[in-house]
């Protein structure tokens, strides 16, 4: 395989196959080994951040914040604009690295980098729109308003499935808000983090910026714990499993810090009698098998009206027969590997759990052993009862559960019955059904779509979910407010000092 993209991104291979980059600090005694799920080969190694090095990084970040918060927001936006242009120049190489290190298709790898470019564009515009509010005071000759100030250091903990985009959702918004960032990428995709930092480092150098505006730390969960326990980091934005999120939430709450959590999803599409079958097949297929089922918005459940059930089942099974599984950098393939063999084991255990519950495998899954690594599996479809215990869990793999319903309220209740609340969709051409689904008595998820799938959110809207998904919101809309502190200001321009609520507090003249 041609790996020129590693050189393009400043990831230089040496004789032992290791790669180094702008990680901020280097520990010669411990490394993360990045191994591609595509072919099982070692891509490179990244040094693990020690506690001593972490302290140096935080000190540099604090120093950079003292400067960065005083830079006018539109000037901060100009730096983000330059970073977006640098991403455009490196879109092909970075997309290939995402595909090779994580395993998603090359189209999805390029798409993820495009998300980074899009959020840069959004952040540039936002840099001139960090609006506050004005309101009327009850006291004469007084003015009241609200404004937003930067928080400080924003700690970002990202997951392997979107190894670059989710960081950018947080970092680009935080940076235009006047914050500085410290990023811990997933230990399963560390080179993607190094590559993004290399690109940032050149933009920062070209503009004579302090090193600490964007910093990188690497390691396992213990490195992330350094940030979650650190009172100098007022906001932790963490993406990952619900289990991880609960630990982060408790740790940060214990020091009264702020969290922005993007956790598990168990996303469903409701298919009504009036659904357009072409939309159903496209939405369900990509939602279930895109990124090999490793998106937090992946479609896990199809809740199908009994009158359309057999048709959906048969057509979807036929579509699965056409899927091409293999090297994700080969654009003829639809589905790449799972991230590692642990994920494969989890997938296989889930299939056994389906069988033990009495579920019926419409499309049998299983491991694929002849594609160059041990991480390839077959996407699976299983018929289960709506209250199936397996269908209530999030298995980060291409397993799709099908179940029947008889009326719309029953379908909505089934959808909402799981602990997670990220993304949801309904396929219908009936306006009353779509509006009911979007009403307060409808979907309880943070994302609710009509006639599109559960996967593939745009950056213009706030992204996030409810219940065990964590309640956070990232990316577009007014998500920027999570990265700032709100301040209410009252100005008295009179010669008297009246108290609010008409309170009198008279003193004798002194």
The dihedral over CA atoms of 252, 184, 163, 270, expressed in degrees to the nearest 10, equals -10
Res. 170: pLDDT tops 70: yes
pLDDT band at 19 (very low <50, low <70, confident <90, very high): very low
Whether 495 maps to a domain, the answer reads no
- In this prediction, what percent of the chain has a pLDDT beyond 70? 96
Contact 219, 184 (CB under 8 A): yes
Res. 426: pLDDT tops 80: yes
With residues binned 3-state (H G I as helix, E B as strand, rest as coil), the percentages for the chain, rounded to 5, are 40, 20, 40
Whether 503 maps to a domain, the answer reads no
Report the pLDDT value the prediction gives residue 25, as an integer from 0 to 100.
Answer: 39
Whether 158 maps to a domain, the answer reads yes
> Are residues 224 and 327 both part of a single domain?
no
Residue 493 backbone dihedrals phi, psi, to 5 degrees: -110, 25
Q: Which residue carries 């990244």 as its tokens?
A: 46
> Are residues 252 and 314 both part of a single domain?
no
> Are residues 396 and 434 both part of a single domain?
yes
Average pLDDT of span 107-127: 98
Report the pLDDT value the prediction gives residue 446, as an integer from 0 to 100.
Answer: 98
CATH code of the domain in which 31 resides: 3.40.605.10
Whether 417 maps to a domain, the answer reads yes
Residue 363, classed as helix, strand or coil, is strand
> Are residues 274 and 229 both part of a single domain?
no
Whether 469 maps to a domain, the answer reads no
Report the pLDDT value the prediction gives residue 377, as an integer from 0 to 100.
Answer: 98
pTM of the model: 0.95
Domain that holds residue 283: 267-458
What number of other Cβ atoms are within 10 A of residue 441's Cβ? 11
> Are residues 237 and 308 both part of a single domain?
no
Res. 364: pLDDT tops 70: yes
CATH code of the domain in which 354 resides: 3.40.309.10
Q: According to DSSP H, which parts of 48-186 are helical?
A: 51-68, 73-89, 91-102, 106-126, 165-176
Res. 225: pLDDT tops 60: yes
Report the pLDDT value the prediction gives residue 461, as an integer from 0 to 100.
Answer: 96
Contact 298, 265 (CB under 8 A): yes
Residue 22 backbone dihedrals phi, psi, to 5 degrees: -80, 75
Going from the C-alpha of 508 to that of each of 337, 494, 505, the distances in angstroms are 81, 21, 10
> Are residues 271 and 259 both part of a single domain?
no
Report the pLDDT value the prediction gives residue 24, as an integer from 0 to 100.
Answer: 40
Report the pLDDT value the prediction gives residue 28, as an integer from 0 to 100.
Answer: 55
> Are residues 121 and 141 both part of a single domain?
yes
pLDDT band at 62 (very low <50, low <70, confident <90, very high): very high
Whether 58 maps to a domain, the answer reads yes
Average pLDDT of span 396-408: 98
Whether 507 maps to a domain, the answer reads no
> Are residues 218 and 154 both part of a single domain?
yes
Q: Which residues contact 466 (CB under 8 A, 6 or more apart)?
A: 421, 422, 444, 445, 446
Average pLDDT of span 390-397: 96
Report the pLDDT value the prediction gives residue 4, as an integer from 0 to 100.
Answer: 94
**Which residue numbers are catalytic?**
262
What number of other Cβ atoms are within 10 A of residue 239's Cβ? 26
> Are residues 305 and 342 both part of a single domain?
yes
> Are residues 383 and 437 both part of a single domain?
yes
pLDDT digits (tens, 9 = 90+) for 436-468: 999 999 999 999 999 999 998 899 999 999 999
Residue 484 backbone dihedrals phi, psi, to 5 degrees: -135, 160
> Are residues 212 and 299 both part of a single domain?
no
Res. 16: pLDDT tops 70: no
> Are residues 295 and 259 both part of a single domain?
no
Pairing of strands 484-492, 142-150: antiparallel
- In this prediction, what percent of the chain has a pLDDT beyond 90? 93
* Dist. CA 275–CA 272, nearest whole Å: 5
Domain count for the chain, please give it: 2
Whether 498 maps to a domain, the answer reads no
Average pLDDT of span 54-63: 98
């Amino acid at each position: 395989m041609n790996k020129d993209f590693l050189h393009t991104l400043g990831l230089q291979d040496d004789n032992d196959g290791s790669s180094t980059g702008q990680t901020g600090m280097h520990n010669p005694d411990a490394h993360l080994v990045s191994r591609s799920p595509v072919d099982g080969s070692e891509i490179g190694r990244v040094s693990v951040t020690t506690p001593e090095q972490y302290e140096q990084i935080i000190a540099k970040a604090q120093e950079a914040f003292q400067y960065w918060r005083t830079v006018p927001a539109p000037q901060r936006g100009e730096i983000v604009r330059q970073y977006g242009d640098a991403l455009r120049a490196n879109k092909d190489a970075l997309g290939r690295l995402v595909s090779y290190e994580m395993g998603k298709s090359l189209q999805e790898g390029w798409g993820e980098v495009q998300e980074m470019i899009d959020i840069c564009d959004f952040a540039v515009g936002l840099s001139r729109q960090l609006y506050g509010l004005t309101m009327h005071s009850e006291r004469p000759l007084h003015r009241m308003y609200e404004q937003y100030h930067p928080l400080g250091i924003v700690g970002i903990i990202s997951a392997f499935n979107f190894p670059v985009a989710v960081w950018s959702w947080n970092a680009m918004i935080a940076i235009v808000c006047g914050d500085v960032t410290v990023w811990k990428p997933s230990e399963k995709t560390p080179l993607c983090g190094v590559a993004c930092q290399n690109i940032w480092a050149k933009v920062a150098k070209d503009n004579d910026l302090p090193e600490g505006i964007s910093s990188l730390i690497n390691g396992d969960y213990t490195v992330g714990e350094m940030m979650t326990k650190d009172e100098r980091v007022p906001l932790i934005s963490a993406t990952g499993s619900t289990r991880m999120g609960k630990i982060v939430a408790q740790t940060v709450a214990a020091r009264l810090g702020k969290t922005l959590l993007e956790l598990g999803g168990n996303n469903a599409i409701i298919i009504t009698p009036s659904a357009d079958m072409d939309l159903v097949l496209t939405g369900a297929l990509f939602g279930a098998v895109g990124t090999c089922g490793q998106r937090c918005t992946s479609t896990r459940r199809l809740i199908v009206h009994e009158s359309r059930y057999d048709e959906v089942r048969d057509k979807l099974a036929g579509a699965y027969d056409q899927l091409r599984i293999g090297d994700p950098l080969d654009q003829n393939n639809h589905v790449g590997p799972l991230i590692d063999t642990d994920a494969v084991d989890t997938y296989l255990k889930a299939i056994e759990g389906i069988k033990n519950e009495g579920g019926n495998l419409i499309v049998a899954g299983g491991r694929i052993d002849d594609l160059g690594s041990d991480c390839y599996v077959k996407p699976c479809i299983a018929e289960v009862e709506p209250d199936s215990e397996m269908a209530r869990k999030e298995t980060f793999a291409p397993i799709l559960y099908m179940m029947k319903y008889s009326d719309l309220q029953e379908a909505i209740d089934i959808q909402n019955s799981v602990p997670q609340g990220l993304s949801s969709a309904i396929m219908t051409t009936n306006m009353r059904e779509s509006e009911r689904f979007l009403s307060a008595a409808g979907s309880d998820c943070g994302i609710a779509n009509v006639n599109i799938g559960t996967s593939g959110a745009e950056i213009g809207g706030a992204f996030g979910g409810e219940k065990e998904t964590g309640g956070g919101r990232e990316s577009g809309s007014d998500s920027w407010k999570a990265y700032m502190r709100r301040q209410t200001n009252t100005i008295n321009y009179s010669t008297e000092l009246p108290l609010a609520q008409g309170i009198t507090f008279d003193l004798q003249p002194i």
